[in-house]
Amino acid sequence: MTTICIVHQIPAAFTNGGATMDIFLIVIMVASSSVFFFFLRKHAFSAKIHSKSKRVPGAGGAWPIIGHLHLLSGSETEQLPHKIMGRMADKYGPIFGMKLGVHQVVVVSDPKLAKECFTTNDLALAGRPKSMASEIVGYKHAMFALSAYGPYWRETRKIATIELFSARRIEMLKHIREFEVKSGIKEIYSDWGKNNLNGVVKMEMKEWIGDLVMNTMGKILFGKGRRSNEDEGINKAHKAIRRFFELLGAFVVADFLPYLRWLDIGGHEKAMKEVSKEMDSVVEEWLTEHKTKRGIIKSGEEEDFMDVMLSICEDRDLPGFDADTAIKANCMGLLSAGTDTTIVTLTWALCLLLNNYEALKKAQDELDAHVGNNRWVQESDIKNLVYLQAIVKEVLRLYPAGPLSVPHESMEDCVIGGYDIPKGTRLLVNLWKIQHDPNIWPNPHEFKPERFLSTHKDVDVKGNHFELMPFGSGRRMCPGISLALQVVPFVIAVLLQGFDMKRPSDEAIDMSESFGLTVLKASPLQVLLAPRLASKQFYSVKKQSSSRKVPGAGGAWPIIGHLHLLAGSESDHLPHKTLSRMADKYGPIFGMKLGVHQVVVVSDPKLVKECFTTNDLALANRPKSMVSEIIGYKDAMFGLCSYGPYWRETRKIATIELFSARRIEMLKHIREFEVKSSVKEIYNNWGKNNLNGFVKMEMKEWIGDLVMNTMGKILFGKGRRSNEDEGINKAHKAIRRFFELLGAFVVADFLPYLRWLDIGGHEKAMKEVSKELDSVVAEWLTEHKTKRGIIKSGEEEDFMDVMLSICEDRDLLGFDADTAIKATCMALLSAGTDTTIVTLTWTLSLLLNNYQSLQKAQDELDAHVGKNRWVQESDIKSLVYLQAIVKEALRLYPAAPLSVPHESMEDCTISGYDIPKGTRLLVNLWKIQHDPNIWPNPLEFKPERFLSTHKDVDVKGNHFELMPFGSGRRMCPGISLALQVLPFVIAKLLQGFNMKRPSDEPIDMSESFGLTVLKASPLEVLLAPRLAPDLYE
């Protein structure tokens, strides 16, 4: 009972600043149950203390066991640790000792003593105490800012200093900083253009600053940005980093009373594990992506910091840590430190200026005088803006991002101010107290940038003046000071030059501080802004580009460009084969003109890797097309829609509710039932119609029925079997036509001004298909709405039911709920059926043309499964030759031999060639998967290659020589489902039936035209059962 009381009282006691009596009661209870252990620890600690005569003066008010911990539990602004310690310094002097649990801590609040710490005793005090945050979130103390002093710390700090913070590197990365700052400014201007009221727009600037800084550091470190939600990981990282800094600054009970760690007082350990998991999931994904793209970066091409770390750590670990841990820890350490401190400083700078209009106006006048209004301020201008520099210094003085230094720990006995500091003592320097000392800074709480132009004009923030050291001092000072002193004044300068700004009311900006290692403004920062430059200045932000253009293909005609080359429909003149021959002539990357559009065609795995890793976001868009407009519900089908919030939302729904491992497992019974039923149909047909022991069947139709049944049941609860729903039959025919139209080179898409002519009759055909599909899906939607409320708890819902639940009483980002449901469901039915039908048909055709492989697969089934039961999905993992057959079929006949077109959303570079915004990209998967330099005898069907030379190659988008499902963020989300269905259907057919061609002639392998390329002619097969009759019942 006592233990239960303790556990329930502890979190409140240690997290609520005023609950001191609760703390005392807890301590007494804990002490009564562990008094012997306590005295042992006390004796051991006392034996370590040197017996010299001059000890640091101790602060009063310590409690048994916990010492002074109870004094540091406040979270209100005036009760934050740096302010409490400031008042304690007033009482006990500029150096005093505290007992925080089992640890002796010395607090220094005087510049002369701080100088002694970071000069005379710099090495002795270079240690970092171990903490739970550093252990759990910091990869077991691998973040160099938190790691122990030694070879690992020296090596990682050296890498960071040279590769990120050197003058050369800072200059090299200037274009990223300038582009991101000016893009952020443009966002404000665009918001003002849409939402201004009385000439000003209200914005929450804390969030704007956060986005800007995360974009900039994300691009520098990982090549990732947060702008326009271009990478969800950077958003997750930003939130986790803020929480990390709060936890770093927390006085965690387990750090000071380690024997109470099991209680997790305050829930810190649980919170740290959550933050650690969040941060690691993001950085692990980025590291995998960077490893994947290695080898693409050309000489002279820009690398981010993670690329550099990978190069340095190639084939070697760093002292005490494996390479991956060191890379992740230090990249995230730099992202954390580089973002949070900068966000804090910029936020306080803006607050102080808004509370001091005179200083704000003076800074704008300086900008007007030195830069003017006809161009944007640049980083090179900052050295001439002396008042702006004074503002930054004054902000850093009043609100140092970390008001208490990151704790140091003495690695050996030393002396500070004549006082003995035993080895193992922890040191805190109260930077806030020093920087508010009225003996050094007259009127210390007032914002007076002018002091840095007069009395303190020679004082800088670089760690040499101990009365002002917001970045620390000594060997453990912040290595990013040079970068910070570029970013902070530049951002403020661009804001002040670009906008007039004021508070939303006459009330002063609230300056309350939040709790953490860094102290951020507690409340939002609402600001009224109005442009003060000509509008043309806000639209002058462009990325630098080089003059290297993609090699162009010859043979273009006036107006139509190369369209005439892609008009063939015969098997050898299908677009992917025409483009393949062009690649042989013009190279692995070449440009084409298709009407009014520039198109780049890529036919090389290394270049494709660059497209879908380095440039994955830039190329994540889809071009608008007539088929997407007419059949795709005005671009609402997520496979064809523009990249943005709607696409992310619908893809997320599909991924979780249809393609997640959990959902695929849940729906296994549907797949197994439909396959079993279809096999039974073959057997029944054989029983009625066999001739000489075999029955002839048209298997293309059988495969179509099976796949439409399966996907129809999963998506709509509808099947095609026995004509149980005519709609599914209509949908099947319309979908095949849809994919033909998707693959067609529609004249109106490339010469839009000729749309009214409807050349080729495509628009008319699309409207007919659209009407056909919509009539079916609208009927199903009405039926699903009608039955809502009937479904009992635990009863299975199909995907349309799930979509109705999700979209209940709300629209989906730009589309009404009904449109989004119909479009998403039909997109999944279309993509999920047609591609599967195509692949199964080609696989069966290939096996029938290669009896040896067919027999080998049947032998494998007999050996691993036998003939006394049916093969199950769980058996597939053991059928390695069968898996090789599926891979080889996907290699030879990718369902879509050309990727669905991509469109660049911004300027980018592929293999050193400039790809302007708006360029369309086609990846010739067929060409890559038939490259003889990668695939010896590429036109031959050889599953064995996936058991030997290519055994490690998979089809999941990570091996760019084989990616039938695509790669990157726009790859097919249904790959997991496809890789369950394809081998299972083939396995069931091969186990259940002997099969052969109707004649000695090989199966005709002619291809039809379309986005997916189906076998052009029927697939007639002779089948005979090979299992006992009772297994087919």
**Residues within the annotated binding site?**
478
Dist. CA 209–CA 191, nearest whole Å? 15
Query: Strand, helix or coil at 299?
Result: coil
> Which tokens in the block code for residue 902?
């991509």
Query: For residue 547, which amino acid is it?
Result: S
Contact assessment for residue 438 and residue 444, using Cβ atoms and an 8 Å cutoff: yes
DSSP string, 898-939: BPPPEE-SS-EEETTEEE-TT-EEEEBHHHHTT-TTTSSSTT
Task: Please report the sign of the dihedral spanned by the C-alpha atoms of residue 169, residue 170, residue 172, residue 175.
Answer: positive
Q: Count the neighbouring beta carbons within 10 Å of the beta carbon of residue 445.
A: 8
Is residue 552 classed exposed, middle or buried when 0-12, 13-18 and 19+ CB atoms within 10 A define those classes? Answer: middle
Place of tokens 């804001």: 495
Phi and psi, residue 61, nearest 5°: 90, 10
Q: Can you say whether residue 880 is alpha, beta or left, with left for phi > 0 and alpha for psi between -120 and 50 degrees? A: alpha
Nearest 5 degrees, angle CA 935-CA 941-CA 946? 55
Task: Compute the distance between CA of residue 175 and CA of residue 546 in angstroms, rounded to an integer.
Answer: 14
Cα–Cα distance, 910 to 171 (Å, whole number): 24
Rounded CA-CA distance 580/898 in Å is 10
Query: What is the dihedral sign for C-alpha 716, 718, 720, 721?
Result: positive
User: Residue 147: left (phi > 0), alpha (psi -120 to 50), or beta?
Assistant: beta
Contact 201, 342 (CB under 8 A): no
Tokens found for residue 76: 């209100």
- For residue 904, which of 522, 612, 572, 618 has the smallest C-alpha distance? 618
List 621's β-bridge partners, or say none: 903
- Evaluated on CA atoms 228, 231, 233, 234, the torsion sign reads negative
Q: What is the DSSP letter of 528?
A: E
Between the CA atoms of 836, 837, 838 and 840, what dihedral angle is there, to the nearest 10 degrees?
80
Single-letter code of the amino acid located at 935: W
Q: Which residues contact 880 (CB under 8 A, 6 or more apart)?
A: 860, 947
CA pair distance 599, 585, nearest whole angstrom: 17
Pick out the residues of the known binding site for heme.
Answer: 478
